[in-house]
Structure 1
């Protein structure tokens, strides 16, 4: 019996040695287990909660920092001949310059007129309907603000086209998520027949309300999916710009100015709005 006991003890020691050779951390794990068993359960729960908080915080910070992009672009958009390129030049240099229809984008650093001396990248996007969507797609993710330039002198003729373009902007998923400031610059106020910013806002709200109905009907007659679009405004209510997730401001300006080439532009309201970004 003694021999059997001795052999059994030897077998156990040999087995323990084998386990130690296979797992060199076994002694440390066993020691840690014993120490944990001796600890107060309340203390152990506190440690686990603290570790969980640290892990969750790290995951959140990683997600937040990786998803956060620096948006420093101010996009000038609108239909052809609305005066975007002249406005672009006036904002940068204050000078008058003869322009022609843009077929590509132009960009330059713009220093806002505020105490912080904020500097944005001012980008003039082509207004032609065959080009504007691809350029909007290129720059929309970096937009801190969008200056939508409207030709106030012939707005009545273009209201449908202006509203169509605005609808595309406002229902875009990226723009809706990032919520850049939207400045609707009602240009060419130096012309006597130009529509006021208030009237332009009212007519655009009516037109966008109509477009929302027709677009929703078109989607439901297809497969019902919206794709990369979001619903405009609030369901069950007539559309108003105040319903949007982004800040919208209508303002009046004149890139040409009352004295045309000789005089200064009337863009003070736009400059003040850009200074608040």
Structure 2
């Protein structure tokens, strides 16, 4: 009886081990196959698998972290004509406007073969509001349309330059590099400055601001390490020195025939069609 009991236990033991390790035969088979392979072939397989894994991890990180930027921001000083330009781009119609105290947004379909649709956002131009609204939307900007009043540009050149300087040296905007379009509006007015003249004067003002702002930061903490340098060091500032292209276009949101006439915004529409 004892012998039978012992024999029975011995016969049952392999079954228990097999139950505990159901994959053992497959592992052993795989090990044997690997041993029979050429080492150079195995190294190639390992390298290929590593490349696939790294690529998958990279794509997952890239796709999950990528932000879709689909906003076109209309920015500028008060009374530069942003809100009327906003209305003209959307409907083509003239609309009586007043100083904006909040943002307005609507879908805008570009006039191109692709017919891409962007979110057009008109931001307030008052100096006490524009910074907070810019902070809210700048991360989503695919393009920034900076509207300038060409008729009174000489009076506002300093304020225009300071606002533009803040945009061009903003860390988020610099990293995302949205398209930058400077719209020289109100060309229907006789005293309006041309886009070329406005560009030249802005370059001079921004060159001066670059010096004064850098000096101010340096006097505060002894360095300018935390600021973005505008343009190329050792050279007078030019828009051509920027990593992003800045385009200057002329337009008239009101139009030469007054309220009932059509706007002259074709140059701006062409620029938006290229986004």
Give the TM-score of the pair, scaled to structure 2: 0.88
2:86 is aligned, of 68, 85, 88, to 88
Match of 1:264 in 2: 262
Q: Give the gaps of 5 or more residues in structure 1.
A: 1-13
Separation in structure 1 between the aligned mates of residue 25 and residue 217 of structure 2, nearest angstrom? 67
Contact 2:106 2:120 (C-alpha < 8 Å) held by counterparts: yes
Stretch moving more, 237-246 or 98-107: 237-246
Aligned equivalent of 2:183, options 182, 185, 191: 185
In 2, are the aligned partners of 1:219 and 1:226 still within 8 Å (CA)?
no
The answer to whether the Cα contact below 8 Å between 1:20 and 1:27 also exists between their aligned partners in 2 is no
Q: Give runs of aligned pairs for residues 9-28 of structure 1, distance below 5 A.
A: none
Q: Distance in 2 between matches of 1:222 and 1:53?
A: 49
Q: Secondary structure at the match of 1:256?
A: coil
The alpha-carbon distance between structure 1 residues 226 and 165, as it changes in their structure 2 partners (threshold 3 A), is: farther
Which of residues 194, 202, 205 is equivalent to 1:204?
202
Give the number of equivalent residue pairs.
262
Q: Superposition pairs for residues 20-59 of structure 1, below 5 Å?
A: 32-59=30-57
The verdict on how the C-alpha distance between 1:160 and 1:19 changes in structure 2, with shifts beyond 3 A counting, is farther
Q: CA deviation at 1:178?
A: 1.3
What is the root-mean-square deviation of aligned Cα atoms in Å?
A: 2.2
How far apart, in 1, do the equivalents of 2:177 and 2:198 lie? 22
Does 2:84 correspond to 1:76?
no
Q: 8 Å contact 1:78–1:127 — kept in the other structure?
A: yes
How far is 1:91 from its partner?
0.9
Which of 160, 163, 172 is the equivalent residue of 1:162? 160
Quick one: distance in 1 between partners of 2:164 and 2:74?
A: 13
- Among 84, 87, 106, the alignment partner of 2:104 is 106
Query: Shift of the alpha carbon at 1:149?
Result: 0.1
Residue 200 of structure 1 aligns to a residue in which SS? Answer: helix
TM-score by length of 1: 0.87
Q: How far is the alpha carbon of 1:26 from its aligned partner?
A: 6.5
Match of 1:245 in 2: 243
Following superposition, the deviation at residue 100 of structure 1 comes to: 0.6
- Once the two structures are overlaid, the 10-residue window that deviates more, 122-131 or 240-249, is 240-249
Task: Tell me whether 1:147 sits opposite 2:142 in the alignment.
Answer: no
The range that moved more, 130-139 or 59-68, is: 59-68
The Cα of 1:222 is off from its aligned counterpart by: 2.5
Residues 188 and 256 in structure 1, CA contact (< 8 A), matched pair in contact too: yes
Mapped partners of 1:99, 1:237: distance in 2: 42
Q: 1:75 to 1:43 in 2, by over 3 A?
A: same
What SS does the aligned partner of 1:258 have?
Answer: coil
Q: Are the aligned partners of 1:172 and 1:230 in contact in 2 as well (CA < 8 Å)?
A: yes
Distance 1:249 1:156 in 2: 20
Aligned-partner Cα distance in 1 for 2:16–2:158: 83
1:146-184 Cα distance to aligned partner (Å, 9 max, x none): 100001011111111111111111111111111111110
CA distance in 1, matches of 2:31, 2:101: 72
Other structure's SS at 2:121 match = strand
Alpha-carbon contact 1:180-1:247 (below 8 Å) kept: no
| Deviation for aligned residue 1:258 | 1.3
Work out which of the residue numbers 193, 196, 205 in structure 2 matches 1:195.
193
